Structure 1
């Protein structure tokens, strides 16, 4: 078992939720059940999967949850790109969010390799 609150990937991914919530506040109301919900749920999924997986009794089981967290990172990346494509997200915000997300993705992948 791991103490998820001590894991830097959990701390960073939890903090990443805030800018996602803030940037989606400016999306049109028509995206309330589309990109807004998708981005918010996917961003929350990353630290949630890390936390849940940390309670598992083996690294093998923890890896499954880390893979889910990594999948959510790729989902967020896709949704950010689409948000930019349709004009809801400017290039500067896309770069900032993408850079932070890339950092989280690399950290998760590296942590997974240490658990294998």
Structure 2
């Protein structure tokens, strides 16, 4: 693995960005009346994942990083829940993208948990 020089080198941040991009694609097909409701919540939750990883990294202490990783994990689970709701409401038109983002959420969850645990041990 290469040296980590910035938060952009963190795989959990990179995967978080991938989740944001797919999430924005999914919400394009949502009903117009959802733009200030579920669509907005989904976008905010997705953006919160890599944003909190970056903010925690920028705080320059393991304690702060752990705190913001924990917030990022909460946003990830919030996003997963919101996407499940959107799917059940039949707002999601492209199930291929939904399945891909669901898979990424699962991977990100495992990676965040492992990263958080590694910080707790240091």
Among 8, 13, 16, the alignment partner of 1:10 is: 13
Deviations 1:50-100 (A, max 9, x none): 000001232111101000000000000100100011001255443222111
Asked if the contact 1:81/1:94 (under 8 Å) is kept, the reply is no
Of 81-90 and 64-73, the range deviating more from structure 2: 81-90
Output the CA distance in 2 between the equivalents of 1:20 and 1:3.
Answer: 24
Q: How does 1:1-116 map to 2 (within 5 A)?
A: 3-90=6-93, 91-116=95-120
TM-score (norm 1): 0.93
Gaps of 5+ in 2: none
Output the CA distance in 1 between the equivalents of 2:98 and 2:6.
Answer: 32
Output the CA distance in 2 between the equivalents of 1:68 and 1:84.
Answer: 24
Aligned length: 115
- Root-mean-square deviation (Å): 1.3
Gaps of 5+ in 1: none
4+ residue runs over 4 A deviation = none
Asked if the contact 2:12/2:108 (under 8 Å) is kept, the reply is yes
TM-score (norm 2): 0.88
